[in-house]
C-alpha cells in the first residue's frame, strides 16, 4: 500500500472519530447543564480545557458561554479540531484515497460533509434544536463505522484505519476523564453528593459507557468508573481495550506476533504492558490527572512512531 494512502486512511479515521466524540461531548454537557440545579454555574470551560484548545478559545472569546463554547467546538473556522473542520479534513483524506474505499463509504462521508457545510441549515439547527444536530452528526459518524465494517476488506488499509480510530478513541476517553478533574464542585464535601454523581453519570454517557458500566457495576462511584474507563477489557472505549485493538492491527501489518519489529510496535507494546501491570489503586494514589497526562503523551508518541515507520513523516 502507498505510504500516502496509509497515512490518509489513518487520518481520515482519526478525524471521524474525533468529530463523533466532540458531538457526544457537547450533547452530554448540554444535557448536564439542564440538570445541574440552581446556584451551580454551568460547566463549559472544562470541556475546552479537556480538548487542549483553551488558549485558542481565549484568543477568540472573552467569556465562557454555552453558545460560544458549542460554536467553538463544533463550527468555528479557526479551531482546527472543530467538528466541521474534522469532517472537512476527513473528507479531504477520503478523496485522496477514493480508490481504496467503497462507494457506500465515500457517499456517507460526502453526505456528512454536505450536512455540516450547509451553513444556513446549521445556523437554524444550532438555534432551534442543537441536540438533534449533534445526535445527527454522531449517528452520521457511527454509520460510517458500520459501513466500513460491512463493506471494506480486512486488508492493510483496514488495519491503518483501526489503528487511527483506536488511538484517537483512547485519547478521547482520557480527555473525558480529565473533564471531571476540571469540573468544580461547590465544596469538597460535595464529593459523592448528588451533583457529583450526576456529573459522573453524564461523563459516562458522554463516552457511551453508562449502560455498559451499569451492567457491570451496581453503583456509581469514582473508583469503579475510572477503573472501567481505563482498564476494562471488554468495553470498546476503555483505554486498555483501545490499545489492544491498535496493537492487534499493528501486528497484522508487520506479520509479527511477539515482541516488536518496529518502533511503533515497541512503544505501543510497552504502553499496553504498563497498563496491564498497574491498577486503579496505583493510579489514584499517584493522582489521576498526572496519570492521564503521561498516558496522553505516550499515546501521542505511539502515533508519531506509526507515522515515522510507515508514512515517512
Partner 1 sequence: MSSVDFSQYQQNGFYDEMFDSDGTIRPAFRPLKESLDTMSTRRLTQLQYASDRAQRSIGMTFNVYSDDQGIERILPLDLIPRIISGKDWNLAERGLQQRIFALNQFLDDIYNEQKILKDKIIPEHLIRSCPSFLEQCIGVKPPKDIWCHIIGTDLIRDKDGEFRVLEDNLRCPSGVSYMLENREILKRTLPDVFEKLMVRPVADYALRLRETLEYLSDLPDPTIVVLTPGIYNSAYFEHSYLAQQMAVELVEGTDLVVENNFVCMRTTKGLEKVDVIYRRIDDDFLDPLNFRKDSVLGVPGLFDVYKSGNVALANAPGNGVADDKAVYAYVPDIIKYYLGEDIILKNIDTYLCSRDSDRKYVIDHIDELVVKQTDGSGGYGMLIGPHSTQEEQKDFVKRINANPHKYIAQPVINLSRVPTLIDGIPEGRHVDLRPYILYGSEVKIIPGALTRVALKRGSLVVNSSQGGGSKDTWVLYEENEGPPMSSMMQQQNIT
Residues that bind partner 1 (CB under 8 A): 1-6, 88, 92, 95-99, 103, 106-107, 110-111, 114, 156, 160, 253, 310-312
Joined together, the cell numbers standing for residue 246 give 491498535
Among residues 3 and 121, whose Cβ is nearest to partner 1? 3
In contact, 283 and 261? CB cutoff 8 Å: no
Q: How far apart are CA 145 and CA 281, in angstroms?
A: 35
Between the CA atoms of 94, 98, 99 and 103, what dihedral angle is there, to the nearest 10 degrees? 110
Among residues 290 and 308, whose Cβ is nearest to partner 1? 308
Rama region for 39: left / alpha / beta (φ>0; ψ in -120 to 50; rest): left
Considering the complex, what minimum distance in angstroms separates the CB of residue 246 from partner 1?
16
Q: Angle at the Cα of 176 (from 56 to 31), degrees rounded to 5?
A: 90
Among residues 98 and 223, whose Cβ is nearest to partner 1? 98
Joined together, the cell numbers standing for residue 10 give 489513518
Considering the complex, what minimum distance in angstroms separates the CB of residue 103 from partner 1?
7
Considering the complex, what minimum distance in angstroms separates the CB of residue 302 from partner 1?
16
Contacts of 303 (CB under 8 A, 6+ apart): 167
Between the CA atoms of 154, 160, 166 and 172, what dihedral angle is there, to the nearest 10 degrees? -140
Considering the complex, what minimum distance in angstroms separates the CB of residue 195 from partner 1?
43
Place of cell 482520557: 174
Among residues 12 and 26, whose Cβ is nearest to partner 1? 12
Among residues 110 and 193, whose Cβ is nearest to partner 1? 110
Considering the complex, what minimum distance in angstroms separates the CB of residue 105 from partner 1?
12
Among residues 3 and 151, whose Cβ is nearest to partner 1? 3
Contacts of 74 (CB under 8 A, 6+ apart): 22, 23, 26, 82, 83, 84, 126, 134
Contacts of 227 (CB under 8 A, 6+ apart): 279, 280
Among residues 97 and 167, whose Cβ is nearest to partner 1? 97
Joined together, the cell numbers standing for residue 157 give 488499509
Considering the complex, what minimum distance in angstroms separates the CB of residue 108 from partner 1?
9
Considering the complex, what minimum distance in angstroms separates the CB of residue 135 from partner 1?
22
In contact, 251 and 257? CB cutoff 8 Å: yes
Among residues 56 and 88, whose Cβ is nearest to partner 1? 88
Amino acid at each position: 500500500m502507498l505510504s500516502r494512502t496509509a497515512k490518509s486512511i489513518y487520518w481520515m479515521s482519526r478525524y471521524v472519530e474525533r468529530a463523533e466524540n466532540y458531538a457526544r461531548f457537547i450533547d452530554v454537557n448540554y444535557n448536564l447543564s439542564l440538570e445541574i440545579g440552581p446556584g451551580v454555574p454551568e460547566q463549559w470551560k472544562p470541556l475546552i480545557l479537556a480538548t487542549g484548545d483553551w488558549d485558542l478559545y481565549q484568543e477568540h472569546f472573552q467569556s465562557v458561554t454555552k453558545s460560544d463554547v458549542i460554536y467553538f467546538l463544533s463550527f468555528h473556522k479557526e479551531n482546527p479540531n472543530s467538528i466541521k473542520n474534522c469532517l472537512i479534513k476527513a473528507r479531504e483524506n477520503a478523496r485522496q484515497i477514493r480508490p481504496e474505499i467503497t462507494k457506500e463509504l465515500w457517499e456517507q462521508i460526502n453526505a456528512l460533509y454536505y450536512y455540516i457545510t450547509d451553513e444556513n441549515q446549521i445556523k437554524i439547527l444550532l438555534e432551534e434544536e442543537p441536540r438533534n444536530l449533534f445526535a445527527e452528526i454522531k449517528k452520521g459518524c457511527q454509520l460510517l463505522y458500520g459501513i466500513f465494517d460491512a463493506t471494506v476488506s480486512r486488508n492493510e488499509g483496514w488495519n491503518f484505519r483501526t489503528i487511527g480510530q483506536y488511538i484517537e478513541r483512547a485519547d478521547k476517553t482520557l480527555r473525558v476523564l480529565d473533564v471531571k478533574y476540571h469540573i468544580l464542585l461547590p465544596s469538597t464535601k460535595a464529593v459523592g453528593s448528588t451533583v457529583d454523581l450526576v456529573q459522573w453519570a453524564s461523563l459516562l454517557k458522554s463516552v457511551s459507557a453508562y449502560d455498559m458500566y451499569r451492567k457491570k457495576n451496581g453503583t456509581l462511584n469514582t473508583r469503579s468508573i475510572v477503573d472501567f474507563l481505563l482498564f476494562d477489557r471488554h468495553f470498546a472505549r476503555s483505554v486498555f481495550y483501545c490499545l489492544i485493538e491498535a496493537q492487534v492491527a499493528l501486528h497484522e501489518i508487520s506479520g509479527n506476533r511477539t515482541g516488536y519489529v518496529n518502533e511503533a510496535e515497541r512503544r505501543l507494546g510497552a504502553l499496553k504492558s504498563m497498563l496491564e501491570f498497574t491498577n486503579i489503586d496505583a493510579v489514584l494514589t499517584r493522582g489521576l490527572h498526572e496519570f492521564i497526562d503521561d498516558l496522553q503523551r505516550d499515546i501521542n508518541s505511539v502515533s508519531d512512531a506509526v507515522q515515522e515507520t510507515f508514512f515517512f513523516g
